[in-house]
Amino acid sequence: MDPVSTALTTWVARGLAKKTVAVIGARMRRDQDAPDVRKALAVAVKSGVAAAVADVHHDDPEGARQVELALLEREDARLPLVDGTGLAGLVDAVRVWIAETESPVGETGLPEEIDASHPLAAALCEAVLHRIRREATRGERILAPLWMDFKLTCLQQPTARRPERLRDYWHPGTPGTRFVGRRDELTRLADALTPGERGGRVQVVGGVGGIGKTALAVAYAQKHASRYRDGAIFYDFQSYAVGRAPDSADQALVKILPTIRDDLSSAGVEQLSAVGRMSAWQESTADRELLMVWDNVRSLAQIEPLLLWQSGCATILTTRHDIDVDGADPLRLRSLEREAARDLFTGIAGDGHDEDLVRRLLEADLDVPILIKAHAKQIRAGRRGLGEIVAELSGVEPVGHRRTQQAFFDRLDGSYLHLGADQRYAFRFLGAHPGRFATGEVAAAILGCELDEAVDLMEDLVDVGLARRHHRPAADPRPPAYTAHDILRAYAAHQARSEGELTPIRDELSAYYRQRLDEPNGGDRRWVETELDNIGDTALAGRTGAHAELASRVGERFFAFGRFTDAATVFGRAAEVYLDGGDDARHAHALLGLGEVARLQGEWDRSLELCRRAVVIFERRDDVGGLIKASVGLGHVSRLKGELEDGARYFEQAAEQAGAAGDTPVQARALVGLGHVLRLQRRHPEALERFAAAAELGDPLQRANALRGIGDVHRALGAPSEAESRYAEAAATYAELGDRNGEANAHLGRGAVAVLEERWPEAEAAYRTAEEIFTELGNRFGLGTALRGQGTAAAGAADSVRARRLLGEALAIYSVLRSPAATGVAGQLRELDARENTA
């Protein structure tokens, strides 16, 4: 049995060994599959049924026929996998499927009895997976992307030793140091989440904003951490933040996976598809005992794919909405008990206050933590007296037992009005800012003051309990940043809206970010890294042309940082806004941005389609600059797809038009692209001519690219020393420019020269360096090329086992990308087999 088949059998066995069926977790669905994918999956599933049933019932042909008919009596669209179930959820889907043919369906819509040890389950899962693997690697490769995601996230990890414990992803907005009261609620939560035989536990904690839901969840985690040997995860889905859309499960995984897994970089996670990220989550958490806190969730659909139902896992879900999870009773928080409310107040404001005034304050604050904390901090800071606040609150309309956002706003009015005019404007700015936090530098720009003045204003808000410092490492030299509880920011936004400032502040913020991004060299890199998410949130906070322009610019930055998911989001928004506004030209440029993202994610057909849609618009508008950029994009994708004649035509057209327009950087880029196409066509003198012309145009990056191209040609002509010299010069230039991708490509060239001279250890070392960089960057095509190079070097060194493994990994990547290079790697593997058979 080959290693992949062994890994398949092990994976299925692990899934079947679980005592519970992750029914809710198995509801994760892919987006609508293309018809050819659904057809290929249906063939794999139905042929897998025939094979598995025949194997299990080999001594009873009639019984086998009846079982097969029972399993396949449903429509193809309702078969497991065909219905969108991810490959990682196959085991549970098959167990339910088999049970549905043998057991009546209960009130939950599931079979009343699910036999975890049914003899058909393992055979059926393995048969289906083997057929998918065969189609993905030796058939038409329609299922290659699904198979690659599954293989990378589910099959490769068990071969390595799993860490004893996952790294925690734990970023709550509260440290949990001032938790008081809630003893009954904490006991109820602990009882509800007590591990048991019936699988993982999920508990909804509900209540109005500011009532203490997050604090309770964090207190539980601190008290019961020993229950969860494999770690804890806290993620704020930001469903109630003003001016931004709630996070999705996939957006959460983009941030969580690189932290909890050593083998996945941020860029690598970005390169996975959404289903691939979900598979990585399911594999990472399989057989683990974990605590998850999903904070500020609006709906079950938002986090349902992340729910873990295996024994030993617990999930706390905090929400302001009514969410039903598997029929469990939610734990709804009310106001604090008076004694606990008093402890909270004195823990902040100190002892020695008039007891009657304290009682009246707590009563006026409805015994709600967010209000008590704000007033207690004002007293502690000496900004206001207890009696003053009580007198002010006595005029607020009583609300009885109602705890509404407006009731909270009414009780914050006095705190707001007590601020000076500048502090009030700073508070309104914090509410209008769509990002998760506001830095002192940005506050200074919008408030129209010096940095130290802006910091003083924000610190004033911290002192009176209307803001808090955004957590950063203690040694971080950057100016401080500020945020606040969602209720306080909503109140601040309400005040900004009342003053007619919400839109103007956001417009000014958008203009400021655009101006900073337009600075020479694109602005300070560290500043961009700090503000990138805030800029993205600002771009998505409106649908004006200015917001779309900012979305396009920040999309380029997300792209440069390898954050392709975020780049696609903002480019997509820009395209929508420009289309709605009838701005064809900018709409087309946004399509080019989406095309670039698709190309780097290996979706070459989609990239071609987007570029061609842009070309139609540019041609209609006679937009030469747009046509040049589109032609370069089309040239790159055509080259990657092996359509060299088309690639040459696109690059030649772009180089000619850019030269006429005086755009030398784009002209050089197009000449380099054309040189590579000519090289692949073995038109070496012409390729050298184009590379030399590109190098002479003076753009540093394109000169490095041209040097690397010249090295490629000399290597093809059998001149290794000339090639090595050009690669070394290119690598040095890339390093000076900070271009890691270019540097990795130069190492590929040096590895290829070493292979040419049969210097196998040096070749492997160069390719391994390239592999490390490509892995860090998430460049899957480059990674495949580096693995192929290492496999070639291993074969040259007569290490056939290592060569076969490395070439197999390269083939899997190329297959997912539908790259013509897959054919060459498959040929190398056949040569290895033939060599061994001859020996």
Q: Which residue has the higher pLDDT, 148 or 811?
A: 811
> Which pLDDT belongs to residue 95?
87
- Would you say the CATH fold of 504-622 matches that of 169-332? no
Beta-bridged to residue 232, according to DSSP, are: 291
> Which pLDDT belongs to residue 402?
67
> Which pLDDT belongs to residue 571?
96
Tokens of 159: 């071969």
> Which pLDDT belongs to residue 282?
82
Q: Which of 798, 793, 802, 825 is nearest to 812 (CA)?
A: 825
Structure confidence by residue, pLDDT tens digits, 757-808: 999 999 999 999 999 888 777 677 788 899 999 999 999 998 988 898 888 8
Rounded to whole angstroms, the Cα distance separating 838 from 487 reads 75
| Rounded mean pLDDT, 363-370 | 92
Q: Which residue has the higher pLDDT, 108 or 405?
A: 405
| Rounded mean pLDDT, 549-560 | 90
Tokens of 315: 């999930």
Question: Which CATH number fits the domain 739-839, given the four candidates 1.20.200.10, 1.10.8.60, 3.30.70.270, 1.25.40.10?
Answer: 1.25.40.10
Which helix (H) or strand (E) segment is 419 a member of? none
Task: For residue 236, give the 3-state DSSP assignment.
Answer: strand
Rounded to whole angstroms, the Cα distance separating 839 from 834 reads 9
Global pTM value: 0.70
Q: Does residue 76 have a pLDDT over 70?
A: yes
Rounded to whole angstroms, the Cα distance separating 747 from 730 reads 10
| Rounded mean pLDDT, 443-472 | 92
Instruction: Please check whether residue 294 is in contact with residue 170, taking contact to mean a CB–CB distance below 8 angstroms.
Output: no
Rounded to whole angstroms, the Cα distance separating 175 from 185 reads 19
CATH fold for domain 504-622: 1.25.40
Q: Which residue has the higher pLDDT, 85 or 495?
A: 495
Burial 675-707 (b: 16+ CB within 10 A, else e): bbbbbbeebbebbbebbebbbebebebbbbbbb
Kindly report which listed range (51-60, 452-461, 583-592) carries the lowest average pLDDT score.
51-60
Rounded to whole angstroms, the Cα distance separating 678 from 95 reads 55
| Rounded mean pLDDT, 294-301 | 93
> Which pLDDT belongs to residue 199?
72
Instruction: Please check whether residue 472 is in contact with residue 480, taking contact to mean a CB–CB distance below 8 angstroms.
Output: yes
Phi-psi region of 141 (alpha: psi -120 to 50; beta: other; left: phi over 0): left
Q: Does residue 18 have a pLDDT over 50?
A: yes
Residue 162 CB: number of other CB atoms within 10 A? 14
Structure confidence by residue, pLDDT tens digits, 135-184: 887 777 788 778 877 876 677 544 344 567 788 888 787 766 678 889 99
Rounded to whole angstroms, the Cα distance separating 198 from 1 reads 36
User: Residues near 370 by Cβ (< 8 Å), separated by ≥ 6?
Assistant: 209, 210, 211, 408, 485, 487, 488
Structure confidence by residue, pLDDT tens digits, 568-626: 999 999 999 999 999 999 999 999 999 988 887 777 888 999 999 999 999 999 999 99
Q: Which of 752, 750, 705 is nearest to 730 (CA)?
A: 705
> Which pLDDT belongs to residue 116?
61
Q: Does residue 5 have a pLDDT over 80?
A: no
Structure confidence by residue, pLDDT tens digits, 506-517: 999 999 999 999
Q: Does residue 49 have a pLDDT over 60?
A: yes
Rounded to whole angstroms, the Cα distance separating 469 from 440 reads 10
Q: How many helices (H) and strands (E) does the chain have?
A: 38, 9
Structure confidence by residue, pLDDT tens digits, 109-131: 556 566 666 888 888 999 999 99
Domain boundaries, the chain: 3-159, 169-332, 504-622, 739-839
Give the pLDDT band of residue 24 (cuts 50, 70, 90).
Answer: very low
> Which pLDDT belongs to residue 159?
39
| Rounded mean pLDDT, 64-82 | 90
Give the pLDDT band of residue 504 (cuts 50, 70, 90).
Answer: very high
> Which pLDDT belongs to residue 783?
86
CATH 3.40.190.10 fits 169-332, yes or no: no
> What's the Rg (C-alpha) of the chain?
30
| Rounded mean pLDDT, 423-437 | 95
Q: Which residue has the higher pLDDT, 185 or 819?
A: 185
> Which pLDDT belongs to residue 8?
85
Residue 604 CA from chain centroid, whole number: 21
Rounded to whole angstroms, the Cα distance separating 635 from 629 reads 10
Q: Does residue 669 have a pLDDT over 90?
A: yes
Average pLDDT, the chain: 87
> Which pLDDT belongs to residue 418?
93
Q: Does residue 27 have a pLDDT over 50?
A: no
Rounded to whole angstroms, the Cα distance separating 422 from 426 reads 6
CA pseudo-torsion sign 15, 18, 20, 24: negative
Rounded to whole angstroms, the Cα distance separating 419 from 31 reads 50
